[in-house]
Amino acid sequence: MTPSQNNNEAENTSGQTKKVPYHFGEKLRQVREHKGYTLKVVAQQAGVSESLVSQIERNHVSPAIDTLLALADVLDINLEFLFEEYRKERPVKIIRAGERPTLEEEEIIYEEISKPEDTDKQNAFESYMVRIPAHSHTHRGSYGHIGKEMGYIIHGKAKLTYESKEYILEEGDSATFSSGVPHILENVGEDELSAIWIVTPPQRFVN
């Protein structure tokens, strides 16, 4: 970005009332004054106009990223120092063992162990504990659906029928596959089958 472009940025912004979402100005000014640099010196070394630096320091304009990087380089500022208060809190979601939402499909029980993220549909997934009585099998996947799945056998012995092929899964085994073709998980043991299942995009526990 050339100095003339930065001048245009300042002029276009100063002519209207615009909310500046990020306030870097105080920190930039404090560091500049601590180092004994004038606005003119900083502007010349960063390749921007003196008026733009002044407006940024007064939080009258939000700088373009390349402008901010240039100023941080001139002032030898660590970017973490500039952005430390803008770190987004990412919550940890807990589902307690005794509070899992459950679904029943005939005799099969699904217990939700992670809730799909509504705000991130592209990467959304659901995971659940599936419990299948002896000699029973899942039903919904028998016609296939979009997405991918991964299953991990916790207890028991299962048969995964995937299209026309069959796979025997025992405790500790896992399987990963595309959900687009018919697939059935069957309990072929004498004990209840329990498994962890992860599906994307979510299919069962969707509001």
What secondary structure, in 3-state letters, does 126-169 show?
EEEEEEECCCCECCHHHHCCCCEEEEEEEECCEEEEECCEEEEE
Q: Assign 44 a pLDDT band (cuts: 50, 70, 90).
A: very high
Longest dimension (CA), the chain: 82
Asked whether the predicted pLDDT for residue 13 surpasses 70, the reply is: no
Amino acid at position 102, single letter: T
Question: For the packed helices 50-57 and 25-35, what is the interaxial angle rounded to 10 degrees?
Answer: 120
Question: Which pLDDT value is given to residue 2?
Answer: 43
Question: Which pLDDT value is given to residue 149?
Answer: 95
Question: For the packed helices 3-14 and 50-57, what is the interaxial angle rounded to 10 degrees?
Answer: 50
Give the residue-averaged pLDDT of 188-193.
Answer: 96
Q: Assign 194 a pLDDT band (cuts: 50, 70, 90).
A: very high
Question: Which pLDDT value is given to residue 19?
Answer: 53
What's the pLDDT tens digit per position in 130-167? 999 999 999 876 677 889 999 999 999 999 999 989 99
Asked whether the predicted pLDDT for residue 16 surpasses 50, the reply is: no
What's the pLDDT tens digit per position in 93-129? 889 998 999 999 889 999 999 987 766 677 789 999 9
Q: Dihedral through CA 94, CA 156, CA 164, CA 138, nearest 10?
A: -50
Question: Which pLDDT value is given to residue 21?
Answer: 60
Give the residue-averaged pLDDT of 168-179.
Answer: 96
Question: Which pLDDT value is given to residue 123?
Answer: 79
H or E segment to which residue 26 belongs? helix 25-35
Question: Which pLDDT value is given to residue 11?
Answer: 40
Amino acid at position 79, single letter: L
Please, how many CA atoms are within 13 Å of residue 119, restricted to the half-sphere of its CB? 2
Range from 23-32, 77-86, 146-155 that averages highest in pLDDT: 146-155
Asked whether the predicted pLDDT for residue 17 surpasses 50, the reply is: no
Chain Cα centroid distance, residue 55: 34
d(CA 117, CA 122): 10
Mean per-residue pLDDT over the chain, rounded? 85
Query: How many other C-beta atoms lie within 10 A of the C-beta of residue 197?
Result: 19
pTM of the entire structure? 0.59
3-state helix, strand, coil in the chain (%, to 5): 35, 25, 40
Chain Cα centroid distance, residue 109: 29
pLDDT > 70: percent of the chain: 83
Give the residue-averaged pLDDT of 178-196.
Answer: 95
- Burial bucket for residue 174 (CB in 10 Å: 0-12, 13-18, 19+): exposed
Nearest to 48, CA basis, from 35, 61, 36: 61
Question: Which pLDDT value is given to residue 119?
Answer: 63
Q: Which residue has the higher pLDDT, 159 or 202?
A: 159
